[in-house]
């Protein structure tokens, strides 16, 4: 028992001596002397003049409180954070005044910038970048303060993430509406529909929607919005109908209406469709001549007694023939034979 207690005491003494030696080394030697300072990730060349730091002092003996107060006194800086970078450096970061997006105050109608932390920053009209989205449906409490809707703090860093990963798609975001407490409604330039996204997974669901559209290419005619508030599910909201047919030409419709008479009986229409093509009409003058010739048939002259003559042997017309002007004959039914000399000419 005594041996164990003795070992514990020895261990505590060794640890104490080590810490004391480390403190002496840091404070009274040049091991941790300040040599480099960075401001918002960028190295500061003359940090002893611009920030008021002492290069001859140790890292842990620098006037950090006075440096932070001097920076907070500058216009637009509301947050200062100083970190040690062992063995001989300091890292200073302030709030970034470059807006990640904009917020349109729903009461005053004035547009403000929002930094990556979600604080409102002043905005000069000449420096407005219209390719950044505008958040609506929120109220600005004051400069360098958070907005009335806490979702702005969640959306601001995700805006920067989208800008870095998909800059072309980020520039197309026009409006992010926060009127509904359950989701945010996003309007994209060139699209007739909107997106319903959760504020805590805005960048993730927006990326999923981009992949979904490029892979499946769904129909968007008649769609009012896409709901992406559910996990592993995209809901298409709206009426998706058939593709619109091309409009008919009015002149063609009128022509069809004239050709097709719906009031006519079906049988008559069918008969007209099945009727064979009639032969070409004859010359009306010749037709009238033939009819007159047929009506005034030639009467044979009485023959002599006891003598019979054959029309064929005399060169006259045969049975069933009618004499036409010019010596030609045509068929015109049952006509009695007659001598050609006795034929009566008709005009």
Query: Alpha-carbon distance 59 to 204, whole Å?
Result: 42
pLDDT for res 305: 46
In the chain, helix, strand, coil percent, each to 5?
A: 30, 20, 50
CB 147 within 8 A of CB 120: yes
pLDDT for res 52: 85
pLDDT for res 324: 47
pLDDT for res 213: 92
Alpha helix segments (H runs only) across 247-283: 250-259, 266-274
pLDDT for res 255: 41
pLDDT for res 333: 46
pLDDT for res 94: 81
Query: Alpha-carbon distance 112 to 134, whole Å?
Result: 9
Question: What strand order describes the sheet that includes 235-238?
Answer: 120-121, 111-114, 101-105, 134-138, 173-177, 184-188, 194-197, 223-227, 235-238
Query: Alpha-carbon distance 71 to 93, whole Å?
Result: 10
pLDDT for res 21: 76
Tokens at 269, concatenated: 């229409």
Q: Give pTM, 2 decimals.
A: 0.49
- Ranges of the chain with pLDDT below 70: 1, 25-30, 75-76, 96-97, 240-347
Query: Alpha-carbon distance 121 to 142, whole Å?
Result: 9
Overall residue count recorded for the chain in this entry: 347
In the chain, DSSP assigns E strands to 36-39, 42-43, 80-85, 89-94, 101-105, 111-114, 120-121, 134-138, 173-177, 184-188, 194-197, 223-227, 235-238, 321-323, 329-331
What angle, 0 to 180 degrees and rounded to 10, lies between the N-to-C axes of helices 151-165 and 202-216? 40
pLDDT for res 48: 84
Q: Which domains, ranges and CATH numbers included, belong to the chain?
A: 2-94 (no CATH), 101-238 (3.40.50)
Rg (CA), the chain: 54
């Amino acid at each position: 028992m005594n041996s164990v207690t003795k070992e514990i005491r020895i261990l505590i003494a060794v640890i104490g001596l080590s810490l004391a030696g480390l403190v002496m080394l840091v404070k009274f030697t040049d091991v941790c002397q300040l040599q480099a300072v960075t401001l918002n990730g960028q190295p500061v060349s003359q940090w002893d003049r611009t920030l008021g730091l002492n290069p001859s002092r140790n890292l842990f003996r620098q006037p950090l409180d006075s440096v932070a107060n001097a920076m907070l006194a500058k216009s637009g800086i509301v947050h200062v954070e100083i970190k040690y970078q062992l063995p001989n450096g300091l890292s200073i970061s302030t709030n970034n005044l470059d807006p990640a997006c904009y917020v349109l105050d729903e009461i005053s109608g004035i547009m403000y910038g929002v930094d990556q932390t979600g604080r409102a920053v002043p905005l000069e009209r000449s420096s407005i970048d219209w390719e950044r989205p505008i958040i609506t449906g929120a109220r600005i409490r004051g400069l360098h303060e958070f907005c009335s809707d806490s979702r702005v703090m969640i959306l601001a860093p995700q805006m920067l993430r989208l800008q870095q990963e998909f800059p072309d798609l980020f520039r197309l975001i026009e409006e992010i509406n926060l009127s509904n407490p359950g989701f945010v409604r996003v309007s994209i330039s060139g699209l007739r529909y909107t997106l319903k996204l959760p504020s805590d997974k805005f960048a993730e669901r927006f990326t999923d929607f981009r992949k979904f559209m490029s892979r499946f290419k769904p129909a968007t005619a008649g769609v009012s919005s896409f709901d992406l508030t559910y996990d592993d599910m995209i809901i298409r909201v709206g009426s998706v109908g058939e593709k619109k047919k091309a409009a008919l030409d009015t002149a063609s419709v009128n022509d069809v209406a004239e050709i097709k008479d719906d009031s006519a009986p079906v049988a008559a229409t069918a008969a007209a469709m099945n009727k064979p093509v009639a032969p070409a009409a004859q010359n009306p003058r010749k037709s009238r001549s033939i009819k007159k010739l047929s009506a005034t048939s030639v009467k044979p002259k009485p023959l002599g007694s006891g003598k019979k003559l054959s029309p064929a042997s005399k060169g006259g017309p045969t049975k069933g023939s009618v004499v036409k002007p010019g010596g030609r004959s045509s068929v015109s039914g049952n006509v009695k034979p007659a001598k050609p000399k006795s034929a009566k000419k008709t005009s």
